[in-house]
Amino acid sequence: MSGIGEKKLLLDNYEKFLNIIDALKVGVFITDGQGNVLMVNKESERTGGGMALEDILGKNMRYLQEVGYVDESSVLKAIENRDECRMIQKLADGGSLYVTAVPYFKDDKIELVICTERDVTETKILEKLLEETKELSERQAKELEYLRASSKSRKPKVIAKSEKMKKILQTARRISQLDTTVLISGESGVGKEVIADYIFNMGSRNDKPFVKINCAAIPDNLLESELFGYEKGAFTGADNKGKPGLFEIANGGTLFLDEVTEIPLRLQAKFLRVLQEREFMRIGGKMPIQVNVRIVAATNRDLKEAIECGAFREDLYYRLNVVPLEIPPLRERKEDIKALAEYFVENFSEEYNIKKNISTGALSELMCAPWHGNIRELRNMIERAMVVYDGEHITARQVKNLLKSAGRDKNRLSASENITLNQLMEEYEREVLVSYLEQYHTAAEVARKLHVDKSTIGRKLKKYDIIFK
């Protein structure tokens, strides 16, 4: 090969070498053995402290150090020590570079010093962002894990002996497989949340988050941030990392909104948009967030009345009331009282490690009470009977005392209740039978005391579902 050809080949290879060096995402800075700058690649030029390339090439590192381009030079240290030098180099523009300077020897003389540079300023920013993202992910993962665990650990048994409740459960089971919105209504304490749990546990989303919020328990000024979340710095006192709302946390799963009528009117429009568009914006946010959430709502108020008085949006009502489930009060499904009472006795026996059962007379007393507080009141009374009284049985007398102390005994046959004369007579007849059975213990003795046949007592016991042992 001729000398011209060799020179051309060398130039071509040198050009390729420069292109490769320029393509690197790491700064490359090369000097000769005296510290004069020979080459700077594009990444090094970009992070070079604001000086133009022509102000650097050909300059000695001592000069660049004197004019403040760097505070100290890794190149000069590598030349001085005849060894590799690693250091943080501060630049004139306030940035920092992590520099590795490696001397290249020829015939025991330093011919070149090759430096690699990494922008520590950018690295720190990226590391900080990564750390914040990791913390946020960990926090959200913990929240989701807690919500999943709490929803799985609490799978309350649904007691349904009455025909009314059996029909409600049948409907709940059918709609659980669909993503339709459900509105559960009923008096306080009837078990609306238990039905919501049932729909979730039976549904196709039962392995996803189940998030619950009582809208009445959150102050109006905090409810928006709880539901929709907020961005960093959205308001004074906001978490500097921002916060996801419950809609985000429930994404893919189910959101249960108890006491939905307590959502302030100003927020109802935003809530309606989520139902319609499946998207919302955080407080202080600029980009809409898409969500896929099933809504189950509950209320103990008359929503139509709330609409009439201007406290609830009519369009939101129709969006929520796709599948209405109205839970009847306990006094209208007395068949459930006995099963519920026995269920609570079993639960509290296990919880408090107390061996106790409930007598037939006590059950009959419970079935006569009005239960204005519904299942919640019944549960509390059973718990009280379990822990207040000694003995292996909850008796009719104990229940009477508890009802009297709660002011329920005199009210159960109140004229204000919608009850017929026949119903009043039947309730009184039941009370008499229960009282006599508690006192005399055998059907024959009760019949003798009441001057009726034993077969009559048997028929009455069967009629009133009084179990006599």
Place of tokens 């030349």: 79
> Who's near 173: CB < 8 A, 6+ residues apart?
198, 202
Would you give the DSSP letter of residue 103?
Answer: E
* Residue of 467, 444, 439, 466 whose CA lies nearest to 456: 444
Q: What is the pLDDT of residues 390-428, one digit of tens each?
A: 888 899 888 888 888 776 554 444 444 556 777 777 777
Q: What is the pLDDT of residues 275-311, one digit of tens each?
A: 999 999 888 888 899 999 999 999 999 999 999 989 9
Place of tokens 């004197």: 66
The secondary structure of 148-161 as a DSSP string is HHHHHH--PPPP--
Asked whether 147 and 249 are in contact (CB, 8 A), the reply is yes
333-463 adopts what CATH topology? Helicase, Ruva Protein; domain 3 (1.10.8)
Q: What is the pLDDT of residues 247-272, one digit of tens each?
A: 999 999 999 999 999 999 989 999 99
Positions of the chain with pLDDT lower than 50, given as ranges? 153-154, 410-416
Asked whether 382 and 342 are in contact (CB, 8 A), the reply is no
Tell me the CATH class for 3-123.
alpha beta
Give the integer Cα–Cα distance in Å for 348 and 344. Answer: 6
Q: What is the pLDDT of residues 116-126, one digit of tens each?
A: 888 776 555 55
**Residue ranges of the alpha helices (H) in 47-119?**
61-66, 74-81
Query: According to CATH, what is the number of the domain 154-328?
Result: 3.40.50.300
Q: What is the pLDDT of residues 161-178, one digit of tens each?
A: 999 999 999 999 999 999
Task: Parse the chain into domains and list their residue ranges.
Answer: 3-123, 154-328, 333-463
From first CA to last CA, the distance across the chain in angstroms is: 117
The enclosing H or E element of 36 equals none
